[in-house]
Amino acid sequence: MRIVICDTPDKVATYACEYVIKSINDFKPTADRPFVLGLPTGGTPLKTYQKLIIAFREGRVSFKNVVTFNMDEYVGLPQDHPESYHYFMRHNFFDYIDIPEQNRHILNGNAPDLIEECRQYEEKIKAVGGIHLFLAGIGTDGHIAFNEPGSSLYSRTRVKSLNKETIESNARFFDNDPSRVPTMALTVGLRTIMEAQVVMMIATGASKALAVSKCVEGSITHMCTATMLQMHPSAVLCLDDDATLELKVRTARYFKNLLLSEKNLEERQANVKRLSAKL
Ligand code: PGA
């Protein structure tokens, strides 16, 4: 697990945005060989989406050959409801970039057969060859996507009941009225996420600090499903200072120093390259 600690939420968004841009551009996607990106919704990734839109307008990235799969969607909320994840994605990202309509995938929480909908979603991910980069957030209860405490760490896309903590946390998007928050959702599973080549989780603010500390320092447990990332061969956590408040000082310092030595090494390598080019 690689942990990047930034001073502010804005710097977290910049890091995530640049990471996505570099991943897409290094891959050099084409129509026949698209880059496959997993996407989250919620308050945390909003700034990252805004920065990606700016980068697109500046011509630094194109989403023409990018295929996206969203993590989750509420059950029973109309797609044009302002709190549906279909609406969120259109109004916060898709409407402002060049991604073709047919390249976007979001679970349909109004499908007549929800189990079949989830099965087909897994099939679609498989058909494009899997997800290259999954961008994720973390819930205050440690969930990743809507894999609530007690979820099977071996789960795939399925229907989930939301727990009280998630409903209360998401009430902020529903006029602070928990009774208006849907109680069920469709979500990719832990196994779906674990099969992505890279998972990047972003977390900002003190409200995420406890979940982050469990995710980084705790044991792997289905009661905090983000801990599963400890088993991922290529997981990156990008945190602001507030999200590290419950980490041991020793842990935070360890990862900060690690980044510093990597930066120094990169600078030294760049210097050597510059000097040898002059010879
Ligand atoms: P948030 O949600 O970004 O709105 O805090 C994150 C999550 O629940 O996964």
What CATH number has the domain bearing residue 109? 3.40.50.1360
Residue 17 has pLDDT above 90, yes or no: yes
> Ligand 1 atom 7: the closest Cα is on which residue?
139
Asked if 35 contacts 132 with a C-beta cutoff of 8 angstroms, the reply is yes
> Ligand 1 atom 2: the closest Cα is on which residue?
42
Q: Is 148 a catalytic residue?
A: yes
Q: State the closest ligand 1 atom to the C-alpha of 207, by its place in the atom list counted from 1.
A: 5
Helical spans, DSSP H, in the chain: 9-27, 46-57, 85-92, 114-127, 164-170, 190-194, 209-217, 249-278
136 CA → ligand 1 middle, Å: 9
Q: How many separate domains does the chain show? A: 1
Out of 72, 144, 165, 169, give the residue to mutate to test ligand 1, the one with the largest number of ligand atoms within 8 Å of its CB: 169
- Token readout for 128 is 């494009």
Would residue 236 count as lying in a domain? yes
Residue 276 has pLDDT above 90, yes or no: no
pLDDT confidence tier of residue 278, bands split at 50, 70 and 90: confident
137 lines ligand 1 (CB under 6 A): yes
Q: Which residues pair with 5 in a beta bridge?
A: 239
Q: State the closest ligand 1 atom to the C-alpha of 40, by its place in the atom list counted from 1.
A: 9
Would residue 254 count as lying in a domain? no
pLDDT value of position 156:
98
* pLDDT tens, residue by residue, 184-219: 999 999 999 999 999 999 999 999 999 999 999 999
Q: How far apart are CA 147 and CA 157, in angstroms?
A: 10
3 state SS of 68: strand
pLDDT value of position 262:
82
Would residue 218 count as lying in a domain? yes
Q: Is 132 a catalytic residue?
A: no
44 lines ligand 1 (CB under 6 A): yes
Domain range for 179 is 2-247
pLDDT confidence tier of residue 53, bands split at 50, 70 and 90: very high
Asked if 217 contacts 1 with a C-beta cutoff of 8 angstroms, the reply is no
Out of 12, 44, 229, give the residue to mutate to test ligand 1, the one with the largest number of ligand atoms within 8 Å of its CB: 44
Would residue 271 count as lying in a domain? no
Would residue 277 count as lying in a domain? no
Opening angle at CA 192, ends 191 and 195, nearest 5: 80
Would residue 103 count as lying in a domain? yes
pLDDT confidence tier of residue 89, bands split at 50, 70 and 90: very high
pTM of the complete model: 0.93
Would residue 255 count as lying in a domain? no
Q: How far apart are CA 187 and CA 179, in angstroms?
A: 21
Would residue 31 count as lying in a domain? yes
Q: Is 143 a catalytic residue?
A: yes
pLDDT value of position 275:
83
Q: How far apart are CA 110 and CA 75, in angstroms?
A: 6
* CA-wise closest residue to 72 among 184, 169, 201, 172: 184
54 CA → ligand 1 middle, Å: 23
Side-chain half-sphere exposure of 143, counting CA atoms within 13 A: 28
